[in-house]
Structure 1
């Protein structure tokens, strides 16, 4: 048996920087800043484990030996002392495994997967608004399907999409808790969904303007204001409001606008930037907007950020229109279907939709930019008062 109790209190009070063994795996590590830390090294199932026992002199020599004896005995029984200590800490501080705490931990682990590292808060908002106020303090190990059902029942039929997202996020949080070694019911969300039943909510599509009516609306956007210019470019490019409102001047090069991959929505599995062909009319609109640019943004607001989505929506609302800005994507897609012979994959690419699996995309190295550029010019011709005649693409299927 290895010698034990090698160190003395007198030596520790004057110990210089270095590592000092008291025996049986107990070490004192003295740092160059004068601080010191007790460390215990044990072997469990043939694997060496090293655990900190606390600082010196807060924990004296006698206390360090006492603590070490306890963990050594546990290791001798074949139990990992580090995992056992973690279990004890969780048991002593149950608030550390509350749903709110585990949710925050799960969010941190997923931030890299979210657009802008989740700064917009959209991943968390269904939970922070509808779940955590009621269940945030509940230990995640106590959470069951009845808790979840009772919490989501008030919005299950009235805010079905939000409720569905909350259920999805809860499932992710529970899986995260299980990965932490907590005893949770991974089927709780599925059971809650069964208890809630089928939602009566019928999703409504965002109102869209008929593509034949778009030229008339576009003609009324004659003032060189940010709102008018932003709506014009939104119509011409078919992009979503977010990338357009956050458009930066350096993203534009000639007749191509390159939207960063992290700014795109609805392109799960796609990691490339998205190139938007700019028609001559779109380039003219951009040139008209350039004098308004501030801090690199083409459509800034007065507070240092960018114009809001509501600014564009309210303009259409004030005009007495049912259609909303996002609906112009539908207008464009319907025009592509009814007034052009664009192949399906090209038409979908106009709206940045991902239509193929990862393997297909890996082999198909094209974004149909040239074909989309021709369609963009024809769409601009229609929008600005052209005839909107059927467009023929060279090489398109008959």
Structure 2
């Protein structure tokens, strides 16, 4: 019986000419015309013949081929398909490489081109990195279900609703990425987790804003000529986001227009900001502080932080924050001007209208916005403002 199973010798295998040679029990060696050789095994499972490769002779010796053949023949006798079983074993072995953390990194890399600045700021990945991966990052993604996700996000679902929503959104993207890779994942797991978590009890709060009537009095106190004061003045005059102001470069100023590149915009689209006479004066006054092309550098390196401007207002006992001046401007547009909605929204770099409407409306209303920003500057710089705001005097800082 042993001889029937082990027909070949090492010498015969080494010196075999092109053709097929049986070692017995379904194990064959196929020597090709090009000199290469391959082991394969033939077994019968449920009346159906199956043929599976066992590897190249270059890497698999006669002894190793017989050991593999014994293993797969035993499975075939037990009624199991050796080819399917091998695939199952490979998937199990590969699971260590298919953890949630590794697939999340792959998904992030795949999406970088769609993200502002290639996602270098970390805002896309941070909800996962801070609240998900520390808990289930090492779990094979194919094993993750709605209960895992629910238990992971439950602690922040009602207290940090926006962060939890972003983390859930990113998880959904990662699960779909894994499915595209051919992994056996439940792409509905995040939706099921939402059902288990229920509606968030968290009530969103708007960023506190200074009433537009009170902006001139605050603006007048920013008269020290420091980087922080000048940055806040330009932020108010342009109704821009704080990140757009903080990272402004002199190279982006083209005469009386500030052109913000797409990679620095929230909507990932270039935005032109008309500069009023007052805004241009602020830029001239800030030029002596310029470093590495940045108009508002920090004391040490890089640019001033968002906290720098916020803390100035906080020290003065104000609830309002820098981002709130965008709301101040928009409310002023609605209550004190007759500017069309589309012009006001474009001034804030908001997307206006549906995709079809935008396809036909190919204007950014630059001329109309230029007049609007001059009007806003006139309001902001009024010196005859009579409203007295507690805590807004220069001595309050």
After TM superposition, the structure 1 = structure 2 runs for residues 348-363 of structure 1, keeping only pairs within 5 Å, are 348-363=345-360
SS for the counterpart of 1:213 is: helix
Q: CA deviation at 1:90?
A: 3.8
Quickly say closer, same or farther: Cα 1:153–1:369, change in 2 above 3 A: same
Say which of 282, 287, 296 aligns to 1:285: 282
Quickly say closer, same or farther: Cα 1:87–1:370, change in 2 above 3 A: farther
Match of 1:364 in 2: 361
Say which of 306, 310, 316 aligns to 1:309: 306
Q: CA deviation at 1:86?
A: 8.3
Match of 1:97 in 2: 98
Q: CA deviation at 1:262?
A: 1.3
Hey, what's the Cα distance between the residues in 1 that align with 2:99 and 2:168?
Answer: 17
Match of 1:43 in 2: none
Say which of 376, 380, 393 aligns to 2:377: 380
Q: CA deviation at 1:91?
A: 2.0
1:127 aligns with 2:141: no
8 Å Cα contact 1:90/1:96 also seen in 2 = no
Hey, what's the Cα distance between the residues in 2 that align with 1:129 and 1:385?
Answer: 46
SS for the counterpart of 1:93 is: helix
SS for the counterpart of 1:275 is: strand
SS for the counterpart of 1:382 is: helix
SS for the counterpart of 1:257 is: strand
Quickly say closer, same or farther: Cα 1:25–1:194, change in 2 above 3 A: farther
Where do 4+ consecutive residues of structure 1 move more than 4 Å?
24-28, 59-63, 83-89
Match of 1:181 in 2: 182
Hey, what's the Cα distance between the residues in 2 that align with 1:369 and 1:300?
Answer: 29
Match of 1:142 in 2: 143
SS for the counterpart of 1:276 is: strand
Hey, what's the Cα distance between the residues in 1 that align with 2:35 and 2:195?
Answer: 54
After TM superposition, the structure 1 = structure 2 runs for residues 200-215 of structure 1, keeping only pairs within 5 Å, are 200-215=201-216
Which consecutive residues of structure 1, in runs of 5 or more, have no partner in the other structure?
A: 1-6, 10-21, 29-37, 39-52, 71-80, 389-398
Per-residue CA deviations over 1:27-83 (Å, capped at 9, x if unaligned) read 69xxxxxxxxx9xxxxxxxxxxxxxx89x9xx55868x969x99xxxxxxxxxx9x9
Q: CA deviation at 1:386?
A: 6.7
Match of 1:344 in 2: 341
Which consecutive residues of structure 2, in runs of 5 or more, have no partner in the other structure?
A: 1-12, 16-30, 39-54, 70-82, 386-397
Match of 1:16 in 2: none
Match of 1:322 in 2: 319
1:254 aligns with 2:255: yes
Per-residue CA deviations over 1:272-296 (Å, capped at 9, x if unaligned) read 4100000000000000000000000
Quickly say closer, same or farther: Cα 1:351–1:62, change in 2 above 3 A: same
Match of 2:8 in 1: none
SS for the counterpart of 1:177 is: helix
8 Å Cα contact 2:352/2:358 also seen in 1 = no
Match of 2:32 in 1: 23
8 Å Cα contact 1:299/1:307 also seen in 2 = yes
Q: CA deviation at 1:95?
A: 1.4
8 Å Cα contact 2:309/2:322 also seen in 1 = yes
Aligned-residue Cα RMSD (Å) equals 3.3
1:170 aligns with 2:171: yes
Quickly say closer, same or farther: Cα 1:25–1:262, change in 2 above 3 A: farther
Quickly say closer, same or farther: Cα 1:256–1:137, change in 2 above 3 A: same
Quickly say closer, same or farther: Cα 1:25–1:321, change in 2 above 3 A: farther
Q: CA deviation at 1:84?
A: 10
Q: CA deviation at 1:93?
A: 3.3
Match of 1:392 in 2: none
Hey, what's the Cα distance between the residues in 2 that align with 1:370 and 1:264?
Answer: 21
Q: Which has the larger displacement, 166-175 or 84-93?
A: 84-93
State which structure, 1 or 2, has the greater radius of gyration over its C-alpha atoms: 2
8 Å Cα contact 1:295/1:304 also seen in 2 = no
Q: CA deviation at 1:23?
A: 2.7
Q: How many residues align?
A: 336
TM-score, normalised with respect to structure 2: 0.77
Match of 1:335 in 2: 332
Hey, what's the Cα distance between the residues in 2 that align with 1:86 and 1:137?
Answer: 22
